Structure 1
Amino acid sequence: MLDALRRHFLLSSVALFAWTGCAYAQTSSWVKAHHTSRVKQSASSLSEKTKEKRDASLGRSSTHRHRTSLSSHQSETLSVHVARHVSRGPELSVPKSVMQQYVPGTSPYRALDRMPGVSFASTDPMGIDSFGASLYMRGFFMNQLGVTVDGVPLNDQTYQSVDGFSVASAIIPDDIDGITVSQGGGGVDVPSTNTLGGTIRFQSADPENKMGAKVSQGFGSYNSYRTYVRFDSGKLNQSGTKFYTSYARTDAGMWEGGGSQFLQQVDAKLVQPLGERSKISAFFNWSDLQQWNYPDLSVGIIKNLGWRVPHLYPDYEKAYHIAQQCQTNPNPVVPGYSGVPGISSCQTALYDGGQREINYMGGLNLDFALTDRLTWHTTIYGHSQTGYYSYTDYDDPTSSEVPLSEEVWQNRQERYGIDTSLRYHIGRHHIEGGIWYENDNQQAGVYNYREPALGQGAPLKAIGPYTVYGQPFMQGYNFEWRTNVLQAHIQDTVTLARGLTLNAGFRTMTAQTSGGANANDAAWTGASELPNGRLRATRAFLPHFDLDWRINRQHEFYIDVAENMRAYEVSAYGVANSLYSVQDQATFLRQKHETKPSRAWTYMGGYRYTSPWVQLNATVYHSTILHQLSSATVGTLTNPISQVIDFGRISLTGANGLITITPLPGLSITNSVSYNKGTYSRNVNTEGGYYALRGKKIVNYPSWMYKTAIAYTWRGATVHFDANYYGKRYFSYMNDTSVGSYWVANTGITYRFKRLAGMHDVTCSFNVYNLFNNKYISTMGENDNPASGDYQSMERGAVREFFGTISTSF
């Protein structure tokens, strides 16, 4: 069935792009007739000569493109540059060569983790487990960052989101051409509902000009393997029509417990040039994620039971007997799972937990040069997701004879949007204005499905199907919403003097969500009425400006100031950072009246030095987050109470520094250090009591990080080593529980054959993750953080694992 489905998507995507390409090719002659004059600036790709001319017109020297080396692959290394096509402050760029140092299929966020101020953690070495993955940048969490793939906003990438999805499912990592990360508040032109602390832009690679294919096969520890194939059509006609389609399958074995973490994807992209400076790109992505999750831990569990406390899957008989005991004894004695103060073995000895997500994403990018001075860019997109998130439930048995069931959160979202902008060049000015609109239809419910009696059939799997023994016997609740987002922006980039450029602009944003609960089992939720109503986040003026002063070829100073706003988070009843997730309608109405949408002011200043031997980048920043809404878990571990809290004001002050030296040809050594002082500014009242948070450190993010990387290339061989240090992280908001510092080191070697047995670019690589097999906590707060004390809401990082890959091109 899966093979048939895979073939269907591959063939349908190729057929769609072939048909679209034919239609576009027929219009190319019309476009050429309207572009007889040479266009100086275009929304499509420009030649290096054109870039140099444009840089000179902006008062920038061509040396502005010099890169800050992180690896030994010449210019394709970690670099710092000022964006040319959009007016933003200085940015950090991760090209494809840096991503290639990681095991193929690894989340691109792993590459971002090399940057100062960025912290990415995951329970699996490849970073594809959305439940166990977290990304922080200068103290901002991943749901506070504006992230796009080919111009499509990913919005909220957290687990069970109904307003976006993970980048791991949005694009195959092999098809990424580069990543651009803002050091400041991010550009006003980025379409996103969550931009508070910056932006991340992923750009897919274009199809190759020549017909060809690529194949990659990898193997790893715990029976892991990964396959990637891609076909490029090459230029099909004189107009330059070309496309590619690719397929990736990752089957990562779990280093703890049973199950696997499976992800398969299809990417396709078609590019149709229109005349000399215009083009249309069509893109498509399909992904199918089927993963068992790793267990939730706490400080007490690790201290009393050790670092390995796996789920019981596939030992259904053992889980069945434990569930029977839990019906009469709230804390039975279970060897290896009992003895944790404040937490029952009924919460630690679970059978399984997992997730299943299916995503479709597609759209068009239209880049037109209308005149010599005027260009028009438009992105039209759609995204659909169906998600299932499950765990074994001992509290709601299937029947009096069967002591457990499978509880499943079922989410669905459909998003459609358009982002369009015009750019006009006159004199020293580059003026841009645009509008983004998105409509999102969202649904979230929770259901319990029947498990079989012992000997009466196979138990349900965490990844489904769930209806093996019939439809759900219980529905806890169901929510439905409709969210509409409208954003407009205008900005101007002006050359004040030679080497001195100012960008100033603002955006206005309105995000409105209507809906809420339309089904409620009062006996299950404990509330007679669940949240329902309208939330609206509006800000008419969100300014942004940056000043870039390039003194000469070596020295550059820049500053960036921005105000941003995040739309209200949308999530169902339970533990989440949404007003819709509070316990009842009365609480929703009260907090709706009291709270405001989150906003942030970010001030950043930086200096960069570039020479053939040394590249340096240093920044200082201060951010103030206003009205951040977070869910704090209070009460006891066995009876938690959650409330969405307005933290008032959060202060983030810090500095980042990165230096790369290239003492010998082929050798690069990079070191970076970052410091962040993040504190809460006020005390809060919760359902669990009063908490004096004023002056307490922010949770989950370390104050200090240090990172080092070394790479050496000689002929076809490249050897690399990197090590990251993460300082102490606070777990509870009151800072009375914390996790200690840790190191993670990785290494690898790659050898490239130019030609071998009729094939070219044959590459063999061997990588080791967590080289010294250190024990550490990766993700914290996946079930939210406690206001005080301990809670079952952290996960261990992956153990040492080995990976080997061989790839080639035809």
Structure 2
Amino acid sequence: MASSPWAAAAEAVSGPVQKKTSNAKATVARAGAARTLPPAAAAEDIQVYGGGSTRQMATVTSRELRAAAPGTSAMKILARLPSVNFMSADPFGAYEWSTRITVRGFSQDQLGFTLDDIPLGNMEYDSERGLNVNRSIISENIRSTTVSQGAGSVEMPSSTNLGGTIQFYSSDPRDVAGGTIQQTFGSNSTFRTYARADSGKLNSTGTKFFIAYAHSTLNKWKGAGENRYDQFNAKLVQPFGDYTTWSTYFDWSNRKEVDYQDLSMNYIDTLGQRWDNYYPDYAAAYRAAQGIYTHGEDKTNDALDAAYYAGSGLRQDFVGSTTLDTHVGPGMTWRTTAYAIADNGFSTWVTPYNASPNGAPLSMQGRDEGGQRFGIVSNFNWRYKNNNFHTGVWFENNHYIQNRRLYQEPLLGEGQPLSPYHWQNTQDAFLDEWGYVFNTNTFQYHLDDTYHILPNLQLNAGFKSLLVTTRSGILFNNPAFTGQDTLPSGGLTASAAFLPQVGINWKVTRNDELFFDVSKNMSSYAFSGWNQGSPFGVTDPTAFRQQQKNLRPQTAWVFEAGYRMHRKWFDGLLTAYRANFANRLLTIAQGSIINSYATVQNVGGVTMNGLEASGTIHFPQHISWYNSFSWNRATYDNNYSTATGLVNVRGKQEPNVPILMWKSQITYNYKGFSADIDENYEGHRYVDYMNTVAAPHYFITNLGARYDFGKFGFVQNLALQFNVYNLLNQKWIAVVGEEGNPVQGDYQSFMPGAPRQFFGTVSANF
């Protein structure tokens, strides 16, 4: 419901200031390239704009999150920004297997994410190199989210961002004791409870903390199964005098998700968008594994893979951090964060490709994962005359284990099938397929300076050095399954001593500014187990040794230039950008999704060009209208060779990413009432590298309304909220590429989006 949170209007100044717009406040970003330090604490409905920065940036505050249905992922809200494409099969963006985000054509594994100063890696489904923000913090406890669409600052602690960065900031405990209770009901038996208690300042030193808990259950919108989420957050803040603050944060998350079935376009056309797995009909899955099809599966081009009995993802995660922020001298600040993250996961599929020892034609394939990451991020800032110097380091150790086993399913009528909600004891497996252990050390150093050449002209220049070394080891190998007596293991290092960034911001007039930025980034190597689509997953030891000699990490040069304007009635932005990739590594998906294998191929260069235009009109009488248009063309520069011949991919559009996007939102605010309606258009998205199969374009409309009744006795704010997702009940393909991308043709890597959904919420502050 917030007005124009993406406008690009601000003063180019050296410190935070506030200015009023027609119906919102604007907090101006610090001059120069924005830092990874969180924005100054302020009222939660303050809008933060990207003005004054040498890069295109935008910040969405907690007010925008509150306008969405409670439990909605913070990443889903970002889909309203220019060039941001968020994909999810469920209305909340909470079902993690289906969630994908791209920014200006950069895929999720090419972006960088942080929570406060905690690196979240690339936030992919498996936690090899990070952790999803949905598991790191309850969405209601997010104060703001800042997106740098082109490239993050050199200070950003990330080893994956070839392109943009997304930074989430947690809210602080409130100064006054109180609490919040929130209850949501809705479609698919959605039931979500959120509760938070704030201590307020406990003593003269300002000690304060909050604790918060969220519990959610909701049925899938098609098929059967209930997804269950529990999460706990706590944060303590302790000031020491006027110049030092210590804070500590804790998160616990427990998630149990039953999967939607991945579909191909052939399955969608033949069986319909509501086709899903057989669960809980074990008999139908059992007979399908025997070649007896009762739902029309035999009319498709692959009846055996049309559906499985069930699949699920079980995750339990812990996040902890402690931060010391202090002034160490005139104009000098030092901020250091130490963090620890522990992840445990169990992913299941019931496969018809491997029979159980008892003769049942099905077995459960279970993949275990577990990891511990420990790290420290330390940054020093010195403001001296016309300069603003920044330097700092980041170190992280990541220990990660991944393995896969098979578990016995019962004969039909002779017992209950294995539950997709339960972690299986590894001792009960009848076949151990493979197991890996990875250890990764990351070190990053950065140095940059923002120099104010003139009061209205500033130059930002700096660099970072990045070194990432990963070593793999084999825990166990079953030659009967992998076909190899020994699986390859060893180390790969991605390093770059000098990754530069230079940017300029020129404030032409009080309300008009130009900016330009160029940067180079490198991404470290992905790692995962046997045949899982990483350089470490190759099956041949000789091929792995060849990769150790010849493989080079992906790099990208990113250029962007833009114009921001601000008027009393209008905020506008125009940006053009270009990216040149080198050593682009493609993961080629092959085989059926449950018996799949993937190869990694260096295809050389990729060229990306794009354009963004956005603006917000501030009408009288409490109305604003936001629109953005974005165009992106990302094509491969070279053909590449495989063992089967030449792949003519040159000039083809990158899969999974739409060429055209349009976003629109009309917002109305009057006293305690607010409402908005937003429209999202996305053009077609290819699933294959040869651009022969695509998900069609779509329009999706959402509606939200909220009324705050104000104070009733000890209740400070009693509010009712109503949200409608997919208002026009469109049939559409939400997700493309969740199972990877083939060279050419159809693939089981699509997920339809949810139909119209209704959600109602009552909340109260105390």
Counterpart in the other structure of 2:391? 433
Deviations 1:462-494 (A, max 9, x none): 2313249x6111111000011000000001111
Are the equivalent residues in 1 in contact too, given 2:358–2:410 (CA < 8 A)?
Answer: no
Which of 638, 650, 660 is the matching residue for 1:694? Answer: 650
Change (3 A) 1:397 1:634: closer
1:67–1:595: structure 2 CA closer, same or farther, 3 Å change rule? farther
8 Å CA contact 2:22–2:618 kept in 1: the answer is no
The 8 Å contact of residues 44 and 63 in structure 2, kept in 1 or not, is answered as no
1:384 deviates by 0.4
> C-alpha displacement at 1:67, in angstroms?
9.6
Whether the aligned pair in 2 keeps the contact of 1:309 and 1:337 (CA below 8 Å) is no
- Shift in Å, 1:81: 3.1
Q: Which amino acid aligns with 1:777?
A: I
Give the aligned partner of residue 476 of structure 2: 519
Asked whether 1:710 is paired with 2:666, we answer yes
Instruction: Check whether the contact 1:295–1:310 (CA below 8 A) recurs between aligned residues.
Output: yes
Q: 1:166, 1:387 → 2: CA distance?
A: 13
- Cα deviations across residues 408-455 of structure 1 (Å, max 9, x unaligned)? 110111000001121112111111111100000011000111222334
Give the AA of the match of 1:743. Answer: F
Secondary structure of 1:702's partner? coil
In 1, the alpha carbon distance for the partners of 2:332 and 2:704 equals 47
Aligned: 1:500 with 2:460:
no
User: Would you say 1:240 and 2:177 are equivalent positions?
Assistant: no
Percent identity at matched positions? 34
Cα contact 1:271–1:281 (8 A) shared by 2: yes
Greater mean alpha carbon deviation, residues 789-798 or residues 118-127: 789-798
Amino acid at match of 1:432: H
Shift of 1:377: 0.6
| One-letter amino acid of the structure 1 residue matched with residue 718 of structure 2 | V
Q: 1:440 to 1:206 in 2, by over 3 A?
A: same
Closer, same or farther: CA 76–268 of 1 in aligned 2, 3 Å: same
Q: 2:492 aligns with which of 521, 535, 550?
A: 535
- Aligned 8 A contact 2:144 2:170 in 1: yes
**Which residue of the other structure, out of 581, 593, 599, is the alignment partner of 2:537?**
581
For residues 544-584 of structure 1, the C-alpha deviation after alignment (integer angstroms, 9 at most, x for no partner) is 121111123210111111101111111111232x1012232
The offset of 1:78, in angstroms, is: 6.7
DSSP 3-state at the match of 1:256? coil
Name the amino acid aligned to 1:335.
Answer: H
1:509 aligns with 466
Q: Aligned equivalents of 2:438 and 2:299: distance in 1?
A: 43
Q: Distance in 1 between matches of 2:605 and 2:135?
A: 34
Q: Secondary structure of 2:711's partner?
A: strand
Tell me which residue corresponds to 1:460: 418
Single out whichever of 669-678 and 89-98 deviates more from structure 2.
Answer: 89-98
Partner Cα separation in structure 2 for residue 166 and residue 349 of structure 1: 27
Q: Which amino acid aligns with 2:89?
A: T
In the alignment, residue 384 of structure 2 is paired with which amino acid? I
- Asked whether the 8 Å contact 1:390–1:463 carries over to 2, the reply is no
Q: Mean Cα displacement is larger for which, 745-754 or 312-321?
A: 312-321
Q: Report the alpha carbon displacement of residue 322 of structure 1 after superposing the two structures with TM.
A: 2.4
Q: Would you say 1:81 and 2:65 are equivalent positions?
A: no
Give the conservation status (yes or no) of the 8 Å contact 2:502–2:519.
yes
1:153–1:654 Cα change, 3 Å: same
Check 1:121–1:755 CA distance in 2 against 1; reply closer, same or farther (3 A cut).
same
1:289 corresponds to which residue? Answer: 255
Q: Distance in 1 between matches of 2:591 and 2:430?
A: 30
Residue 432 (structure 2) aligns with:
475
Return the alpha-carbon distance in structure 2 between the equivalents of residues 458 and 82 of structure 1: 62
Aligned: 1:767 with 2:723? yes
**The residue matched to 1:457 in structure 2 has which SS?**
coil
Which one-letter code corresponds to 2:414 in the other structure?
Answer: Q
1:230 aligns with 2:196: yes
Report what 2:319 is aligned to. 361
Q: 1:307 to 1:551 in 2, by over 3 A?
A: same
Task: Indicate if the aligned counterparts of 1:693 and 1:733 stay in contact, CA closer than 8 A.
Answer: yes
CA–CA separation in structure 2 for the residues paired with 1:776 and 1:293? 19
Deviations 1:766-799 (A, max 9, x none): 1010111111111111111010111111111111
Tell me the matched-pair count.
741
Q: Which amino acid aligns with 1:383?
A: I
Structure 1 stretches of 4+ with a deviation exceeding 4 A read 60-71, 634-641
Q: Residues 301-348 of structure 1, C-alpha deviation per residue, up to 9 Å, x if partnerless?
A: 11222212111111112222322x14xxxxx5442322222x2x2211
1:682 aligns with 2:638: yes
Shift of 1:390: 0.7
User: Taking structure 1 as reference, are residues 75 and 99 closer, same or farther at Cα in structure 2, changes over 3 Å only?
Assistant: closer
* Aligned: 1:783 with 2:726: no
SS of the counterpart of 1:113? Answer: helix
Return the match for 2:298 from 320, 323, 338. 338
Partner residue of 1:374? 332
Which residue number in structure 1 is paired with residue 215 of structure 2?
Answer: 249
- 1:766 maps to amino acid: F
| Aligned residue identity for 2:453 | L
TM-score, with length taken from structure 1: 0.88
Distance, in Å, in 2 between the alignment partners of 1:65 and 1:376 is: 31
**Aligned match of 2:283:** 317
2: distance between equivalents of 1:170 and 1:426?
A: 37
Q: CA RMSD in A?
A: 2.2
Q: Verify the 8 A CA contact 1:70 1:709 in the aligned structure 2.
A: no
Distance 1:639 1:126, change over 3 A: closer
Q: Secondary structure of the equivalent of 1:786? A: coil
On the 8 A contact 1:748/1:768 being kept in 2, the answer is: yes
Give me the whole-angstrom Cα distance separating, in 1, the residues matched to 2:397 and 2:231.
25
Structure 1 partner of 2:172:
206
Is the Cα contact below 8 Å between 2:23 and 2:622 reproduced in 1?
Answer: no
Give secondary structure in 2 for the equivalent of 1:347.
coil
Contact 2:531 2:597 in 1 (8 A): no
Structure 1 residue 137, shift from structure 2 partner: 0.1
Secondary structure at 1:94 match in 2? strand
Partners in 1 of 2:313 and 2:708 — Cα distance? Answer: 38
Q: Structure 1: where are the runs of 5+ without partners?
A: 1-54, 327-331
Amino acid at match of 2:576: V
Provide closer, same or farther for how the CA distance between residues 253 and 370 of structure 1 changes in structure 2, counting only shifts above 3 A. Answer: same
Q: Distance in 2 between matches of 1:434 and 1:638?
A: 44
SS in 2 for 1:238: coil
* Partner Cα separation in structure 1 for residue 504 and residue 606 of structure 2: 26
Which residue of structure 2 lines up, in the alignment, with residue 407 of structure 1?
365
Deviation string, structure 1 residues 50-85 (Cα, Å, up to 9, x no partner): xxxxx8973x895788699799x99734733346xx
Once the two structures are TM-superposed, the CA of residue 617 in structure 1 deviates from its matched residue by 1.1
Q: Counterpart amino acid of 1:174?
A: E
Letter in 2 for 1:113: A
Structure 1 pair 74–474 and aligned structure 2 pair: CA distance change class (3 A): closer
2:323 alignment partner AA:
N
Partners of 2:22 and 2:569 within 8 A in 1: no
Instruction: Tell me the residue number matched to 1:350.
Output: 308
TM-aligned CA distance change 1:68 to 1:184, over 3 Å: farther
Preserved contact between residue 614 and residue 662 of structure 1 (Cα < 8 Å): yes
Q: TM-score, normalised by structure 2?
A: 0.93
Structure 1 CA distance, aligned partners of 2:232 and 2:129? 22
- In the alignment, which residue of structure 2 is the partner of 1:489? 446
Distance in 2 (CA, whole Å) between partners of 1:650 and 1:634 is 22
